[in-house]
Structure 1
């Protein structure tokens, strides 16, 4: 086994307060397109002549509510995506009382689907929807199977419970994430480029022993890490769990 993988395996085996911080790379193996990487959703939308930032903004929701709803139904709702080995491994460590939980930049809801219960979703989740006026809540399953686009109570548009451009991150979620990072003795970053702020800046709150970054590409925090592995997430976890 590669020495870096062996080192990672030993750190995990000897840690009982692990916090995970995950980005888009974790969900790529589940078929969820990486938003900003070459060939990702960002590029796909841009080719259609639209600005992804605008289509995912409060401005677009206000300017063209129907267009916004049509957009997320077409581009964001994925019924066939399932958690992969990485999601399942993270959930299992939490269930085994070895992990404090997971902080994620992802909106796909796959950590919760895998069984993680202590999840801080920094940018919200596509597992929940609500009416922009009366705030009646809907599940992703309801929205998809019944093709719900307007509220059945007041008739106003239904939106996903995600942080749009122009909105602030939820401060309660941020506070929980900071506490989770501060309490950890091992912080494992998986599949995040650590460039999207303010989420990436949460890493600076870590005061524990082992900062581990596993990502295909380099990140701005690599020099601060105790271990950096530039490899495929699933391959690394497969090696660690053998």
Structure 2
């Protein structure tokens, strides 16, 4: 492990255009359950007799807007979760001008909360809500504080700005993410299994520089990486920060 940390530091210190690609694993340390692991969010939803795919679909939103918002409050909106050391490390490297930014599969908004500015949220974010009738905009904190279920302006349906099952990824966001990945000299994957498509397929477009994968479990791209660390990423980053 110590040798891997030294190698990681050498790569990061010599990089000038780092792009971070993050998945659910980075947020687990902040107390946010991931969707697909054993004991994860999908399993908890299914235990209550629901289909996770349907409850997170545009079909359910359209069929029962009130039920959809109740579901969001119960399973998705975490008011007490904060960025962890990994989010902060990423934001600091961007602030120093060493990173191009973040491409994330997460919807929790913690990268922005940590201070990252160049964030491509492939699946949208829970930090923003909007009315599907009049397009009035709301922040997550405002929705939570006022326990909003309907638009204050027109009483229409409000929803989080996330990509639901049955909806397409935002094309501009995807293109921005692709540009980051192809322009970077180092790509660091953190907490992603790299199996969810089409997001994970973006990794295939990185064909120069150093590929680093830090994840608890193996991924389909491990064999292509210059450095693979199978460990808790908070341990890895804390160890990295401790290296002189």
TM-score, normalisation: structure 1: 0.99
Corresponding residue for residue 19 of structure 2: 19
- Equivalent position of 1:221 in the other structure: 221
Distance across 2 between alignment mates of 1:132 and 1:56: 16
Query: Aligned partners of 2:229, 2:186: CA distance in 1, in Å?
Result: 15
Shift of 1:153: 1.4
Deviation at 1:41, TM superposition (A): 0.7
The CA distance in 2 between the partners of 1:223 and 1:171, in whole Å, is: 29
* Residue ranges of structure 1 left out of the alignment (5+ in a row): none
Q: 2 CA distance for matches of 1:133 and 1:224? A: 46
User: Could you tell me how far 1:207 is from its partner in structure 2?
Assistant: 2.2
Distance 1:28 1:174 in 2: 24
**Partner of 2:183 in structure 1?**
183
Q: CA deviation at 1:208?
A: 2.2
| C-alpha deviation, 1:152, in angstroms | 1.2
1:13 and 1:153 mapped to 2: Cα distance? 50
Report the equivalent of 2:151: 151
Residue deviations 1:129-164 (CA, integer Å, cap 9, x gap): 000111111011110000011011111111000000
Q: CA deviation at 1:73?
A: 1.3
Give the stretch that moved more between structures: 219-228 or 90-99: 219-228
Indicate the SS of the match to 2:235.
Answer: helix
In structure 2, the residue matched to 1:75 is 75
User: Which residue does 1:142 correspond to in 2?
Assistant: 142
Secondary structure of the residue that 1:168 maps to in structure 2?
A: coil
Deviation at 1:116, TM superposition (A): 0.1
Q: Which moved more, 1:173-182 or 1:202-211?
A: 202-211
Instruction: Provide, for residues 88-128 of structure 1, a one-character-per-residue CA deviation record: whole Å limited to 9, x for no partner.
Output: 00000000000000000000000000000000000000000
Q: Distance in 2 between matches of 1:64 and 1:151?
A: 16
| Structure 2 Cα separation of the partners of residues 237 and 193 of structure 1 | 19
CA shift, 1:203, in A, is 0.2
**2:95 paired with 1:91:** no
Partner secondary structure for residue 189 of structure 1: strand
TM-score (norm 2): 0.98
Runs of 4+ aligned structure 1 residues displaced above 4 Å come to none
Report the equivalent of 1:2. Answer: 2
Q: Take 1:147 and 1:231, find their aligned partners in 2: how far apart are those partners?
A: 38
Question: How far is the alpha carbon of 1:63 from its aligned partner?
Answer: 1.1
Structure 1 residue 3: deviation in Å? 1.3
CA RMSD after TM alignment: 0.7
2:167 match:
167
Rounded to whole Å, the distance in 1 between the matches of 2:133 and 2:28 is 34
- In the TM superposition, residue 167 of structure 1 has moved relative to its aligned partner by 0.3
Aligned to 2:54: 54
Q: Structure 2: which 5+ residue stretches go unaligned? A: none
